[in-house]
Amino acid sequence: MTRALVLGGGGITGIAWEWGLLAGLAEAGVDLTAADLVVGTSAGSVVGAQVASGLDPRERYRAQLEPPDGEVAAALGPGVLLRYAVAMVGPGTPARARARIGRMALRATTEPESARIQVIESRLPVREWPDRPLLVTAVDAGSGEFRVFDRDSGVPLVRAVAASCAVPGVWPPVTIDGQRFMDGGMRSSANADLAGGYERVVVLAPIARGLGQLTPVATQVEALRARSRVALVTPDPAAVRAIGRNVLDPSRRAQAARAGLAQARSVLGQVREVWAD
């Protein structure tokens, strides 16, 4: 066990930004897709499934530049964000806070679960779990329990990714073994602690902040640094502008990807220092 790649959540624009970074770094000779472990949360699970399956990041980057024909924008409205905040700062353990968000997710009026899974399947050019270790995160909407799926979990890859991407209040929780699961980002936007034990870790986090009992990525990265060499990459100011305020808007996908590609140049040194043998 030597190198782990952690891919955090961040909506459609986060997927695009991550592919831009991965493509730019690959062009510069730093191949993060050679990771021994891939950890994917929410948007990062979409990218992670493809990375672990061996897809070329430069080809996947080019796919982000295609017009988003037929894709409908969604948004985390003020009401949803307020309910997140109230749930996260309420009393009790982090699991109880997540369960409060889960209750909101289960009550929300959304598109049917089956339709959402079809959308995820259409965006995911791989269908089977890869041979390389891949961890996909989710949260039990009923109990708030954190769950990690892998190829030994007995869960179809598309359904695991759909669960990891099930943004509460926007998309429906996904049924797995009779339980309903929501976005793994409700524990942490990247869940970087799952890379513990690996010597070299690179974390790409479109969203790094925490809220209430939602653990910030930086906190997990600092804990990892006690035993590992770690590089944390978050959007630079140009990427933040490109991504905009609505990470679920497909019309901003191409510009987010280009911003990731451009940012790869400025982070190349720190990533190479951690990743290179």
Residues that are catalytic:
42, 183
Whether residue 266 contacts residue 23, with contact meaning beta carbons closer than 8 Å, is answered with: no
Contacts of 196 by beta carbon, 8 Å cutoff, 6+ apart:
223, 224, 227, 228
Whether residue 96 contacts residue 144, with contact meaning beta carbons closer than 8 Å, is answered with: yes
How far is 189 from 241, CA to CA, in rounded Å?
20
Torsion angles phi and psi, residue 185, rounded to 5: -70, -5
User: Which H helix or E strand runs over 145?
Assistant: none
Helix, strand, coil proportions of the chain in percent (round to 5)?
A: 45, 15, 40
How far is 252 from 94, CA to CA, in rounded Å?
33
- Identify the DSSP state of 32: G
**Across the strands, what pairs with 39?**
6, 135
**Structure tokens, 45:** 């699970």
